[in-house]
């Protein structure tokens, strides 16, 4: 029987110890984080290679758990690489890399945001008051990707600053997504 691994895909700046992604990495079985050489100056080709390398090393299937710029990374990766190992993706707070008003110039190399349907089950989780993406834009991304959408209300960028702790609501969404695969 194949083992399913959880692949943590952080965004710009990585996810610190108080971030739910870091907490989940400690608690989920078979969790691994994609590590980037430079978290502050993202280069799309380099970040794509790091994600693909993690997935190539796995013997079983994967569920991606992406946040912020990590969501854009997953959307780019799905268009360019073999996604057969990926069973599903939880896509939290997709940064609007196309918007200079919403995101820093350092992420512009990830624009335009890919809008092709994702080849695996996916769930976009969005907040109504995220500074890096409007809810309407997150909804647009979800529709384009063929993903389900979960509105969790006013939770900011759904990061450590949102004070979510272990984010049990997010774990419930991950469980719901996992039941669909």
Query: How crowded is residue 162: how many other Cβ atoms within 10 Å of its Cβ?
Result: 19
Close Cβ partners of 2 (under 8 Å, ≥ 6 residues apart): 59, 60, 61
pLDDT at 25: 98
Domain that holds residue 137: 4-179
Q: What CATH number should be reported for the domain holding residue 58?
A: 3.40.50.1820
pLDDT at 1: 55
The count of structural domains within the chain is 1
pLDDT at 3: 84
Is the distance from CB of 66 to CB of 36 less than 8 angstroms? no
pLDDT at 181: 83
pLDDT at 20: 98
Whole-number Å distance between alpha carbons of 64 and 88: 6
pLDDT digit of tens for each residue in the chain (181 aa)? Answer: 578 999 999 999 999 999 999 999 999 999 999 999 999 999 999 999 999 999 999 989 999 999 999 999 999 999 999 999 999 999 999 999 999 999 999 999 999 999 999 999 999 999 999 999 999 999 999 999 999 999 999 999 999 999 999 999 999 999 999 988 8
């Amino acid at each position: 029987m194949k083992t399913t691994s959880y692949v943590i895909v952080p965004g710009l700046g990585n996810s610190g110890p108080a971030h739910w992604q870091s907490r989940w990495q400690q608690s989920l079985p078979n969790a691994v984080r994609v590590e980037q050489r430079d978290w502050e100056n993202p280069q799309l080709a380099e970040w794509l290679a790091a994600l693909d390398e993690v997935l190539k090393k796995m013997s079983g299937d994967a569920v991606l758990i992406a946040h912020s710029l990590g969501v854009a990374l997953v959307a780019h990766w799905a268009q360019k690489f073999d996604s057969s190992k990926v069973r599903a993706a939880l896509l939290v707070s997709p940064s609007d890399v196309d918007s200079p008003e919403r995101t820093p110039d350092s992420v512009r190399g990830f624009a335009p945001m890919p809008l092709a349907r994702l080849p695996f089950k996916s769930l976009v989780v969005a907040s109504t008051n995220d500074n890096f993406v409007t809810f309407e834009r997150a909804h647009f991304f979800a529709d384009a990707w063929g993903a389900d959408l979960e509105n969790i209300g006013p939770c900011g960028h759904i990061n450590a600053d949102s004070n979510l702790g272990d984010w049990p609501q997010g774990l419930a969404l991950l469980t719901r997504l996992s039941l669909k695969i």
